Amino acid sequence: MYRGGYLKQLTDIIKDYSIDILAIQEITWTGNGILEKKDCTVYYSCHKSLHHFGTGFIIHRKISHLVIQFQAIDIRICKIRIKDRFHNYSIISAPAPTEEKSDDEKDSFYVLLEKSV
């Protein structure tokens, strides 16, 4: 999503398919934050200075008021809490390291993921 136009394409898809919550990976932005757009809000967790990895959520504006909390945990893990009528829901976006990554990297990812739950 670092290149121009990708976010616009995703927001158009969200509108066309009536998607309320979309977990996204490989954002490749820098830093963590919340980006307000016309039709949606983007919550993201990326590397502080490098344009690689990154994960987050795109929340449609009709339910954006139900977001209780966003937690940028790591460049591979973020969590959002959504308020519902009877329950609150936690949704985690966590693309795991691929098979070619080192065992240490995979182990540290799963330890951090377990702490995030």
**Mean of the pLDDT values across residues 44-61?**
90
Burial group, residue 59, by CB count within 10 angstroms (0-12, 13-18, 19+): buried
Q: Give the predicted TM-score (pTM) of the model.
A: 0.88
**Res 2: pLDDT:** 63
* CA distance to 42, 49, 79, per residue, from 38 (Å): 11, 27, 23
Task: State what percent of residues in the chain have pLDDT above 90.
Answer: 66
- For 12, phi then psi, to 5°, come to -65, -40
CB distance 39 to 11 below 8 Å: yes
Per-residue tokens: 97 = 């390291």
CB distance 57 to 23 below 8 Å: yes
The string of pLDDT tens digits covering residues 4-13 is 788 888 889 8
